[in-house]
Amino acid sequence: MNTRFLLGAAATVAATALALSFPLAASAHVRVNPDQAQPGSYATLTFKVPTESATAGTVKLEVDLPTDTPFTSVSYQPLTGWTTQVVTEKLPKPVKTDDGTITEAPVKVTWTADPGVQVAPGEFQQFVISAGAVPDTGSVLLPTHQTYSDGTVVDWDEKTPADGKEPEHPAPTLYIDDAPPAEDGAAGPLVTSAPTAPAPAATSAAGNAVAIGLGIGGLALGAAALIVAVFALTRRGTATAPRG
């Protein structure tokens, strides 16, 4: 078989494997949906949290709420197997609003898994809150901290720049007066407080399993093609070597 053809085939398959696996890594971020809201509204915000680790599950999630443009009220949707706490504290500096001066507000929401409960590898979970009144500001960063069963903590707290070039650990962001970054697509109609029903666990697990399987399968095909190419080159070298 032609050596150049083998090498070309191996390179093509390897590139395909990378193309399959890259979107999996790029899309595995903590997100908030919707990511837009109107000032003064009460928005139902859903944090979609995938487990990226192959060996540990997600057992805790903390969302930091803004203190310079605070929400005056935050409630949560109960989640079976998880204990939820909304922490209200005195603000570092009083904030004046149309309804008066705010001196304390919700500053954090924490979900903690009950013993034996976790978001396992290949799965995701949705954590839902209602927050308002939405402040009249450009955007609100919602830094999120994801704790795994092995003690690892991943901080999703980096701001996405205006050019839309996403950082490694972007913070979930609620855009209010500002439009989302360009690469997020054109801004659609603003969504207010209509609740979003969580996707069934079985469906989410199956979808993630298929995506991960495609990525792993692509990498395996690339490796196999490279092995075939190397083996063919070795045999060709042996066959053409001069005999003593």
One domain for residues 176 and 85: yes
How many other C-beta atoms lie within 10 A of the C-beta of residue 102? 15
pLDDT, tens digit (0-9, with 9 covering 90-100), for 33-42: 999 999 999 9
Check whether residue 109 and residue 189 sit in a common domain.
yes
* Residues 116 and 176 placed together within one structural domain of the fold: yes
Judged against a pLDDT cut of 80, whether residue 8 lies above it is answered with no
Token pair for 121: 């590898």
Could you tell me which residue, 28 or 61, shows the higher pLDDT? 61
pTM of the entire predicted model? 0.67
Write the pLDDT tens digit of every residue in 128-175.
999 999 999 999 999 999 999 999 999 999 998 878 788 999 999 999
The tally of CA atoms less than 13 A away on the side-chain side of residue 4 is 0
Task: Based on the fold, state whether residues 169 and 236 are members of the same structural domain.
Answer: no
Mark whether 14 and 87 lie in a shared domain: no
94 and 145 in a single domain? The answer is yes
Per the structure, the complete domain to which residue 39 belongs is given by: 34-197
| Pair 183, 215 in one domain | no
In this structure, the answer to whether residues 44 and 152 fall within a common structural domain is yes
Domain CATH code at residue 190: 2.60.40.2230
DSSP readout, the chain? --HHHHHHHHHHHHHHHHHHHHHHHHH-S-EEES-B--TT--EEEEEEEE---SS--EEEEEEEPPSSS--SEEEE---TTEEEEEEEEEEEEEEEETTEEEEEEEEEEEEEEPTT--B-TT-EEEEEEEEESPPSSSEEE--EEEEETTS-EEEE-BPPPTT----SSBPPEEESSSPPPGGG-S------S---PPPPHHHHHHHHHHHHHHHHHHHHHHHHHHHHHHHHHHHHHHHHSPP-
Same domain, 113 and 22: no
Pair (77, 181) in one structural domain: yes
Do 108 and 216 fall within a single domain? no
Do 105 and 185 reside in the same domain of the chain? yes
pLDDT 10s digits, 84-133:
999 999 999 999 887 789 999 999 999 999 999 999 999 999 999 999 99
Tell me the pLDDT band of 228, cut-offs 50, 70 and 90.
Answer: very low
